[in-house]
Chains A and B, each alone.
Chain A
């Protein structure tokens, strides 16, 4: 496809975001956000509603433009986003939707890619159904299948575990564990206990700022880590309320 970046021979380097600001309707959604994220592995974004997690994912995916700041080493990277809620074309069948996604992301042999994604995410039974008739669980599966067919090296997942049944959740975790050595996966979630198993890096966001960003050691609980980051931040003067990396 014209003008889209190819996923082949792409490699995610360490991603750096510097002084990123996003303002919409006069409201600051991201405020001088500075982050240095690993090039592979799972980064979990934690934060309350309105903390700026989804905005950050939108900006990193390139579908939303930032007002000031810089993003380094993302220009040549193929990125795929799993938005929340998952949105599809209601007039397309599951198979057509995947075929379209494969084309958008320049996956040449899209039929093979689509078939394997259908199998992986157990979507064969509904492959001929229109996406508008899918249940929430199947919509999540289709969204994940889209990530698979995209062949992108940077996956941006916004609340991926919402509405997942235990079986799909298990497949999801297996896949993420399998892929995290070769891909950069950034996941915004409220389901902390599930994300804990997968995380290599954790970022806590608050009011458009990253107030904590460190490698995750699997020792502390996400909940404690989050509470600690928020209470540390509230003790700091306003001018220093962001991580210096």
Chain B
């Protein structure tokens, strides 16, 4: 049993995790139904427009952003547990013994959170199937949106693990993760760029990058933002793990 398998058991044997997943699935489904309901009610008015938005344009982007917001809670929990729990239950020595480099440990712990990706793609698949019954969907945009959401999740996981490596209590780590995720999301909120075009602050937040992906736009800057950010956070976590040797 390697670190990934061990962490998989540690995370996913918690009934709370499945409860949260079920709750998020329910909320996701409920919000999607609300979106559909609203779309149906304004559909006649939309058709009166010279260039009415397609079903993909009208529902896909808001849905992706909704799922992204819901995922913050789940990722705050899974990534918050990763190192804080090791420190809380004093099992960090298993990770430190006979080891010089720690990047492998960080990536192994990240891999243990793979069921989140299954959950995301299942949600997206169901939505795509539902939308395709109501009209023509833009499959390329949907695939790009799914990839964008996956990159966003990777970015959040890496950040969550970094925060977790600084915490000695799982509760603190999960709470701190959630607060930081929400603040970062708020940083990318619409209010910030109302007056002066796109504010640089909002580009620090993953919201706009995710939104571009959801709209079917793949930009190099967004790819660098997500992958580079993920790599940077993982490297910082590995450094912090090495630094823990000075604390034991």
Chain A residues in the interface with B (C-beta under 8 A): 1-5, 24, 58, 61-65, 78-81, 83, 87-92, 96, 99-101, 103-105, 110
Pick the residue among B1, B2, B98 that contacts A62 (CB under 8 A): B98
Q: List 20 A-B contacts (CB under 8 A).
A: A3-B99, A3-B101, A4-B98, A4-B99, A58-B248, A63-B92, A64-B245, A65-B246, A79-B98, A89-B89, A90-B89, A91-B10, A96-B1, A96-B6, A100-B2, A101-B94, A103-B1, A104-B3, A104-B94, A110-B1
Question: What residues of chain B lie closer than 8 Å to A78, measured between beta carbons?
Answer: 98
Q: How large is the interface on B (under 10, 10 to 19, 20 to 34, 35 or more residues)?
A: 20 to 34
Residues of B within 8 A of A (CB): 1-3, 5-6, 9-10, 13-14, 89-94, 96-102, 104, 245-248
Q: Which of A3, A64, A89, A90 contacts B248 (CB 8 A)?
A: A64
- Bound-state CA distance A110–B1 (Å) is 8
Residues of B within 8 A of A105 (CB): 98
Given A3-B104, A91-B10, A105-B98, residue A100 in contact with residue B245 (CB < 8 A):
no
Given contacts A88-B91, A90-B89, contact A96 B9 (CB under 8 A): yes
B residues near A96, Cβ cutoff 8 Å:
1, 6, 9
Residues of B within 8 A of A61 (CB): 93, 97
CB distance from B47 to the nearest CB of A (A): 55
Shortest beta-carbon distance from B69 to chain A in Å: 29
> Smallest CB–CB gap between A216 and chain B, Å?
28
- Note all chain A residues with C-beta closer than 8 A to B10: 89, 91-92
Complex Cα spacing A110 to B2, Å: 11
| B2, closest chain A residue (CB) | A103
Q: Which residues of B contact A101 (CB under 8 A)?
A: 94
Residue in chain A with minimal CB distance to B96: A63
- Please, which residues of chain B bring their CB within 8 A of the CB of A79? 97-98
Q: Which of A1, A58, A63, A87 has most B Cβ within 10 Å?
A: A63
Q: Are A2 and B104 in contact (CB under 8 A)?
A: yes
Would you give the shortest CB distance from A119 to chain B, in whole angstroms? 19
A1-B2, A63-B245, A91-B10 known; A100 vs B94 contact (CB < 8 Å): yes
Whole-angstrom CA separation of A64 from B218 in the bound complex: 45
Bound-state Cα–Cα, A88 to B91, Å? 7
Indicate which residue in A3, A5, A87, A104 contacts B89 across the interface (CB closer than 8 Å): A87
Q: Is the CB of B245 within 8 A of A65?
A: yes
A76–chain B nearest beta-carbon distance, Å: 11
Smallest Cβ distance from B139 to chain A, in angstroms? 38
Among residues of A, the one whose C-beta sits closest to the C-beta of B102 is: A3
Contact A100 B1 (CB under 8 A): yes
Residues of B within 8 A of A64 (CB): 245-246, 248
What 5 pairs between A and B have smallest CB-CB spacing? A2-B104, A65-B245, A99-B1, A64-B248, A63-B96
**Taking each of B1, B2, B96, B98, which has the highest tally of chain A beta carbons within 10 Å of its own beta carbon?**
B98
B97 engages A62 (CB within 8 Å): yes
Please, how many angstroms separate the alpha-carbon atoms of A56 and B5 in the complex?
A: 32
Tell me which of A88, A91, A105 has the highest count of chain B C-beta atoms within 10 A of its own C-beta. Answer: A91
**Is B97 a contact of A63 with CB atoms below 8 Å?**
yes
In the complex, A80→B98 CA distance in Å?
Answer: 8
* Interchain CA distance A186-B241 in the complex, whole Å: 26
Whether the Cβ atoms of A63 and B91 lie closer than 8 Å is no
Identity of the chain A residue whose Cβ is nearest the Cβ of B12 in the assembled complex: A91
